Amino acid sequence: MPWKTNVLESPKCIEIVYLGNVTPEELYMALKNSVLLSRENNTILFLSDCTDMTGGHSVIDLYGLIGMFEKLNITTDAKEAIIMKSLQSSADEIKFYETACKNRGFNVKIFTGREDAVVWLAAQN
């Protein structure tokens, strides 16, 4: 499985770590698992670590993933911080995802460092 999830305590959030190529089906599975964990742990904060993701899906797949948000009743109050390397091969796809999420009212932001991402997640809007 090219992804794994953890529950972090400070701030309380769901961490999703992606490794290597992640297929569209695996993206959908990771999303569903993360949403389930968030409900079990009473949090709407997500930390997605994409630093070791190399691809495996297209921007069309990412657009479809965002379409799943409504089906899974993900609120626009949720926050997702995405960590990526500044020069990684999947950077364009991740930036597209951020923009498409924002266009639909979801609070998503890309970071190149974990510390900044965690601080942003912990901040009150």
Give the range among 1-15, 31-45, 51-65, 79-93 with minimum mean pLDDT: 79-93
Q: What is the DSSP letter of 57?
A: S
Helix, strand, coil tally for the chain in percent (to 5): 40, 30, 30
pLDDT, position 89: 62
Percent of the chain whose pLDDT exceeds 70: 96
pLDDT, position 86: 73
pLDDT digits (tens, 9 = 90+) for 53-92: 888 888 899 989 999 998 999 999 999 999 998 766 667 7
Mean pLDDT of 88-107: 86
pLDDT, position 23: 94
90 or 109: which leads in pLDDT: 109
* Mean pLDDT score across all residues of the chain: 92
